[in-house]
Amino acid sequence: MNEFVFEPAAWELALENIKPGTELSAVRFLTLMKGEEEAALEEALLVLEEKHILLDVSDLPKMGGVGEAAVRLRREEQLVKSNSLVQSLEEADPLRLYLEELARISVCGDVEVLAQRLLEGDKSVVEQLTNLMLGRVLERAYEMVGRGVLLLDLIQEGSLGLWQAILNYQGGGFEAHCDWHIRADLARAVTMQARSNGVGQKMRQAMEDYRSVDERLLTELGRNPTLEEIAQELHMSAEEAAAVAKMLDSARMMAQAKKPVQPEEEDPEDQQAVEDTAYFQARQRIAELLSNLDEADAKLLTLRFGLEGGKPLAPEETGKKLGLTPEEVVAREAAALAKLRSSR
C-alpha cells in the first residue's frame, strides 16, 4: 500500500527556521501567508505563540482604511502624540467614556506579591491584578495607534491578552509575562488588519518590481545599483526600498531551505528562462573576466556581485570586509569595471 508523504508548506519551513523567543517581521509573515486559507493562518499563529515569537509590526504601513475610519485613525495618532486624547474627544465618545471609567478604578497592591498568591491558587486576586496591569495595556495600545486598528479595539485586544496571561500564569516574572501577551495580541490584531488591506499582495508586487529594477540597472550601469538608485526608479523612499530588499533576502534564504535533497530535473525551458535574464548574463560575464584584475579588485567585485554563491553586498558591507570606506569601494569598483570593459 502506497504511503503518501505531504511536504511542508513554505510558511512551515520558514517558521521552523526562526529561533524561539525572537521576533518576526509582520510584513514577512503576511507575504509567507499570502493565498493561504484561514485554517493555515490560524495554525501559523499558533506556531508563533508556541515558539514565543512576537510579530514586529514596525515595517507595516501606517493608517489604512478609507473615509471616516482613516480620518479617525489619523486623529487618534495625533491626539496620543500631543497627550490630549481624553479632553479632545467628544463627551459621548466611547473611547473617552472607557478611559474616564478606567481612570476611576482603584489601583493598589504589590504585583509580585499578588502574583505569588495567584500561583498558590488564590483566584480572588485576579481582578486586582487585572486592574493593576490595565495601565500597561494602554501604554502598548498607544504604541500601536494609527496602524489600521482603532484605539478602542486595540485596548480591547490588549485586555484580552492580559486576561489570558493572568489565567495562564505559571511562574516567573509576572509583569514581563503579561507584557508579552499584551504585545502579542495587539500585534496580531494589527497584522490581521493589514492582511485584510492586502499588504501581503502589495509586498509581493513590490519585491517583483525591486528585482526587475535591480536587474535592469545592473545591466545599464555595469555595476550593482545603490539602494537610492533603486528607490528612485521605484518612486519610493530609501527606507521603503530597504524594507523590500530585506524581504527579498529573507525569500532567498527560505528558497534555499526549501530545496529538496534530491531535486527533480529542471525543465529545460525554465532553466533557459533563468539563463536568459540580463542579471545572470552580467554576473557570468564578470566572473569570466575577473582573471584580468589583481586579487584585491577581483575580491571586491566578487563581494559586490555575490559571485561565490552569497548575496550581493552593499558598498558599506563590502568596505567592512575589505577595510575600505563605502566611497573607496564605489571608486575602486568603477575603476575595476572600466578595466573589464576595456579588456572585452
10-residue stretch averages of pLDDT, the chain, 344 residues long = 60 87 88 85 92 89 68 90 91 91 86 93 91 93 90 92 92 94 94 78 70 83 83 80 70 50 48 45 58 81 70 79 84 77 61
Q: Alpha carbon of 322 to those of 157, 226, 291, 306, 339: distances in Å? A: 49, 18, 19, 15, 20
Residue 257, pLDDT score: 46
Residue 48, pLDDT score: 93
Going from N- to C-terminal start, the domains of the chain cover 64-196, 276-344
Residue type, 35: G
Residue 107, pLDDT score: 81
The beta-carbon contacts of 310-315 under 8 Å, at least 24 apart in sequence, are 311/249, 311/252, 312/224, 314/224, 314/226, 314/227, 315/226
Residue type, 280: F
Residue 270, pLDDT score: 47
Residue 294, pLDDT score: 83
CATH architecture classification, 276-344: Orthogonal Bundle (1.10)
Helix (H) or strand (E) holding 199: helix 199-221
Give the separation between CA 192 and CA 38, rounded to whole angstroms.
11
Q: What is the per-residue burial (b if ≥16 Cβ within 10 Å, else e) of 150-167?
A: bbbebbbbbbbbbbebbe
Residue 315, pLDDT score: 79
